[in-house]
Amino acid sequence: MLLLLVAAVAYAMVFMPKDDRTNGADRPAGSGGQLSPAPDNSSGTGADGSASSEPRPDQTSPGGGKSPSGKASSPASESNAPGVPAGFTLRKDSAGFQVAVANGWDRSPKNGRGQVVYSHGDFELIVVPGRDSTATYGSDPLTYQREREAELQPFRDSTWATSSGMRRIDVGGRTMAEGQFTWQNSAGQELYVRNLVIVTGGHYHIVQVRGPEAEMDEVTRLYEQASATYQVTG
């Protein structure tokens, strides 16, 4: 009996597992023993080694000479002058004025009627920089527009014509008149016209945009940019 007890104790000491063999019993199968430390993502890669979508610290601030979008900044130019929207260029004309003109438009030199014409397709921007004087035509721009302005003679001569919004404007020491007109040209095309008359230095300056009546919104868009930016420079 004593021999059997001694044999049982010896068996237990030899074949029972030690404590350090049971410490990992709760680990998932296939873990291969010790858990790996959490990956270091300071290099910008993810846990699986792929690129991380999070920016690195040196990417969170734009570099010198670049905008927040990452594109290189450029100095101001005529095409992005203050107050001139995308799609327009502030043209500094040799005839002594500047005006915003849609990109891609062609310019015709001053003609015998004192007009500088920018054009594209069926649209025209007609600028008359001081051809007529107030000494000859009177000082009221509204009367001049209605009765004397040569650029509106087709309106006065047309058997089919309308006008609206004719008014005089006095603001900031500047005297102006504007109006909206429609008439048929010699080809029978119905035109929509926005017209501005500005009195400067005893002379009348005219900014007029013409286009198809079916394109009234586009005529207005072009006119608003031209009338808002017109300035005498010479």
Given a cut of 90, whether residue 48 has pLDDT beyond it is: no
Mean pLDDT of 110-139: 98
Q: 203: which strand partners?
A: 133, 200
Given a cut of 90, whether residue 45 has pLDDT beyond it is: no
CA dist 75 and 204 (Å) reads: 35
Q: List the end-to-end C-alpha distance of the chain, in Å, as a whole number.
A: 129
Mean pLDDT of 64-84: 48
167 alpha carbon, distance to own chain's centre: 31
> How confident is residue 79, by pLDDT bands cut at 50, 70 and 90?
low
Given a cut of 50, whether residue 99 has pLDDT beyond it is: yes
Mean pLDDT of 188-206: 97
111 near 95, Cβ under 8 Å?
no
Quote the percentage of the chain above a pLDDT of 90. 61
Mean pLDDT of 54-72: 34
How high is the pLDDT of residue 187? Answer: 87
Sheet bearing 161-171, strands edge to edge: 106-108, 116-120, 123-133, 203-212, 190-200, 174-184, 161-171
- Identify which of 40, 204, 191 has the alpha carbon closest to the alpha carbon of residue 133: 204
- Can you give the residue ranges of every domain in the chain? 82-232
Q: Between 183 and 27, where is the model more confident?
A: 183
Mean pLDDT of 72-95: 74
By mean pLDDT, which of 28-37, 165-174, 207-216 is the weakest?
Answer: 28-37
How high is the pLDDT of residue 78? Answer: 59
How high is the pLDDT of residue 83? Answer: 81
- Identify which of 171, 205, 170, 211 has the alpha carbon closest to the alpha carbon of residue 189: 211
Mean pLDDT of 52-74: 34
Angle at 80 between CA 192 and CA 194, to 5 degrees: 15
> How confident is residue 205, by pLDDT bands cut at 50, 70 and 90?
very high
Given a cut of 90, whether residue 60 has pLDDT beyond it is: no
Given a cut of 80, whether residue 136 has pLDDT beyond it is: yes
**What CATH class does 82-232 carry?**
alpha beta
